[in-house]
A and B are shown apart, each in its own frame.
Chain A
Amino acid sequence: MSTVTQAGPAVPAGSAEALSERRPLGDRGFQVLALAAGLLVLVILVLIAISTTQQATSWFTTEGFKGIFSTNWNPAANKFGAMTFVYGTAITAVIAIVLAVPVSLAIALLLTEVVPRRRARPIVYVVDLLAVVPSVVWGLWGILVFAPWVQHIYASIGSALGGVPVLGALFGPPTSGASFFTAGLILAFMITPIVTSLSREVIATVPAIDREGAYALGATRWEMIRGVVWPHSHGGIVGAVLLGLGRAMGETIAAALVIGSSPVITSHLFAPGYNMPAVIANQFGESSGVFRSALMGLGVMLFAFTIIVNVFSRAVVARSARRMRGA
């Protein structure tokens, strides 16, 4: 009997005292522990913001607003303008999104609308495998195998399009195997699984009865997708794309190996370039003083960009999920 009351669950018959018993200490302790673990997420995010910003202050004070947002990056001359890397990050992320989104959406539609569920599973496994290959392995393959192989293709495209307006500016020479485009392409492989799986989740919330409504009017599958699936899910898909964008912006190691490590702003996508995570990864180890502070500052910027993109994307996804449930 005594063991039972100690453990707290059983109330002895007729004991009024036991009914008003205070919550056992262990019970409240567990709740506090759980709350603390939950709050840890917020604590870490706030600490990241504070500590890295603090480390970056000497960059802000020595360079000033204008210096930070200049394109002049020259550690030897103590010039640390960030814009070259902001530009590179934008270019590689946009290339990755442009390449990955159509493929991801097509696979998501294949899985939800075309292939029966039993045969969908192996396809999901294969797409997930892309995410299991570590970033550094993509980078190793990219620099030792893919870049040497692809540079001839870039070179012939470059010489063919060199004189053409617009296309020449994008794909003309100079060309190099390690380039913005190679980095964007490999980032595209890496973000395809997440964009696919999120799009699939969104598309799966389209009610079966709406699909049948379109089919009952004699729509083909493609017409059903355009008429029903797309209007239902485009909000959520925008969220999935933004999430992919955030990943592409922050993905470091693969980009660091294949981007070409050349801090220039150029419209030539086949030319070597640089982006924010890559320059941090490559130069942090040998930096000090204002140089190190500047790299920290790039980290702060990257953190801010990705937080904004992610908050926005999660909000879009959550809103479209709510609307689906409400409708």
Chain B
Amino acid sequence: MAAVTAQPQVDLREPKGWRRTRNRAATVAMYLAFVVVIVPLGFVLYTVIAKGASIISWSFLTSPIPVNVAPPGVGGMGPAVLGTIEITALATAIAVPLGVLGAIYLNEYGGRGPLARFIAFMADVMTGVPSIIMGLFIFTIWVLHFGYSGLAGAFALGCLMLPIVIQSSHEMLKLVPNSLREASYALGATKARVTVTVVLPAAIGGIVSGSLLAVARAAGETAPLLFTILTVTTANPNVFSGANTALSTEIFANADQPFLGAQARGWGAALTLVAIAFILMIAARLVTARFARYQH
């Protein structure tokens, strides 16, 4: 110990000057970016809630749509609420089973083969196809031959949902461990049986949650419905035939109306639509959390 030399003093303080300034500036900029996002989001949500809450009521959700000049207290958005629910439900019934089946093909049958990889790639690409194109497409192949209907709208929304459901379900199926499949095969099960009884239940939480997010997206869409349901003011409980209406297209129609009543009904419809989308999103999160707990 006697040989220990005198310790030189070391300076371990943060480097000064440009390096520190730059690092701090970068960190501040990152937090600022988050603020930049919160402000408009808060602004929009505040406006929708403030303006929508003043008109929304049970009678607003169920009453018929009045003429545009009607003052805010008259009528409501009943037909649009009904239309949104029936069209979105039908689109879900079409797109979710097909999407899950497609994902099953990609993960369980196609594997790493060229066709499956091509389909998976094109499904990714299809999520980027503008929703208005889906509207034009269904208009061309369906509406021109069979007329406007809720069904046509559901087809257009289904085209929009299909690749989203495929994408999210595919991701979930990938996470199912192979040992589960092998355990089932070892008992002599067929591939279809393994898939339906073992693989799907193992991934169901993620599939449901991903599908709910797709439904949330579809419920708020306007462009695919513009040229497929025609947007009438009368309620149409028959989703399979006859022109229909929806909250989103009603908002679009009311947005550039000069009449305060029409605008107020637009805000009410907007609050309803936002609430539907939020509920679906929260449901998706709850499903995810619930199944995550099962798995651990």
> Contact residues of A with B, CB < 8 Å?
7-11, 23-24, 26-27, 29-31, 33-42, 44-45, 47-48, 51-52, 54-55, 102-104, 106-107, 109-110, 114, 123, 126-141, 143-146, 189, 192, 220-223, 225, 243, 246-247, 249-253, 256-257, 277, 280-281, 284-285, 296, 299, 302-303, 306-307, 309-311, 313-314, 318
Q: Is the CB of A130 within 8 A of B132?
A: no
Which residues does chain A contribute within 8 Å of B196, judged by CB atoms? 30
With a CB–CB cut-off of 8 A, which chain B residues contact A249?
130
Contact B47 A280 (CB under 8 A): no
Contact of A37 among B47, B102, B227 (CB under 8 A): B102
Pair A102/B40 contact, Cβ less than 8 Å: no
A106 and B223 contacting across the interface, CB-CB below 8 Å: no
Chain B residue contacts of A136, Cβ below 8 A = 220, 222, 248, 251-252, 255, 270, 273
Shortest C-beta distance, A191 to chain B (Å), equals 11
Asked if A143 meets B119 with Cβ closer than 8 Å, knowing A103-B33, A133-B277, the reply is no
Residues of A within 8 A of B137 (CB): 44, 47-48, 51-52
Tell me if B37 and A192 are in contact (CB < 8 A): yes
Interface residues of B (CB under 8 A from A): 15, 19-20, 22-23, 26-27, 29-34, 36-38, 40-41, 43-45, 47-48, 98-99, 101-102, 104-106, 108-110, 116, 118-119, 121-126, 128-134, 136-137, 140-141, 159, 162-163, 166, 187-193, 195-196, 216-217, 219-223, 226-227, 248, 251-252, 255-256, 263, 266-267, 270, 273-274, 277-278, 281
- Distance in Å: Cβ of A108 to nearest Cβ of chain B: 9
A314 to B43, CA, bound (A): 33
Chain A residue nearest in CB terms to B108: A34
> What residues of chain B lie closer than 8 Å to A29, measured between beta carbons?
192
Bound-state CA distance A30–B159 (Å) is 22
Closest 9 CB pairs of A and B: A250-B130, A134-B220, A106-B33, A37-B101, A9-B188, A30-B192, A310-B128, A38-B105, A34-B105
Bound-state Cα–Cα, A123 to B48, Å: 22
- List the A residue with the shortest CB-CB distance to B188: A9
User: Given B105, B124, B187, B223, which contacts A314 in the complex, CB threshold below 8 Å?
Assistant: B124
B205 to chain A, nearest CB (A): 18
Write out the residue numbers on chain A whose beta carbons fall within 8 Å of the beta carbon of B267. 140
Q: Please measure, in the bound complex, the distance between the C-alpha atom of A126 and the C-alpha atom of B190, giving whole angstroms.
A: 44
Residues of A within 8 A of B99 (CB): 37
Partner of B192, one of A27, A51, A140, A145: A27
Inter-chain contact A253/B33, CB cutoff 8 Å: no
Q: Could you tell me if B131 and A252 are in contact, using CB atoms closer than 8 angstroms? A: yes
Indicate if the CB atoms of B125 and A48 lie closer than 8 Å: no
Chain A residues closer than 8 Å to B216, beta-carbon distance: 132
Docked pose: A144 CA to B33 CA in angstroms: 26
Q: Is the CB of B41 within 8 A of A126?
A: yes
When the two chains form their complex, are residues B123 and A41 in contact, meaning their CB atoms are under 8 A apart? Answer: yes
Q: How far is the CA of A277 from the CA of B136 in the complex (A)?
A: 11
Pick the contact of B101 from A34, A45, A134 — CB < 8 Å?
A: A34
Residues of A within 8 A of B134 (CB): 48
Task: Please report the C-alpha to C-alpha distance between residue A140 and residue B266 in the assembled complex, in whole angstroms.
Answer: 8
B residues near A257, Cβ cutoff 8 Å: 252, 255-256
Which of B37, B104, B220 lies in contact with A127, CB distance below 8 A?
A: B37
- By a CB distance below 8 angstroms, the chain A residues around B187 are 9
- In the complex, the answer to whether B30 meets A223 with C-beta atoms within 8 Å is no
Listed A/B pairs (22) with beta-carbon separation below 8 Å: A23-B190, A37-B98, A37-B99, A37-B101, A38-B166, A39-B119, A41-B162, A48-B129, A48-B133, A54-B140, A107-B34, A132-B277, A133-B41, A134-B270, A144-B263, A146-B43, A222-B22, A252-B131, A277-B132, A307-B129, A311-B125, A314-B121
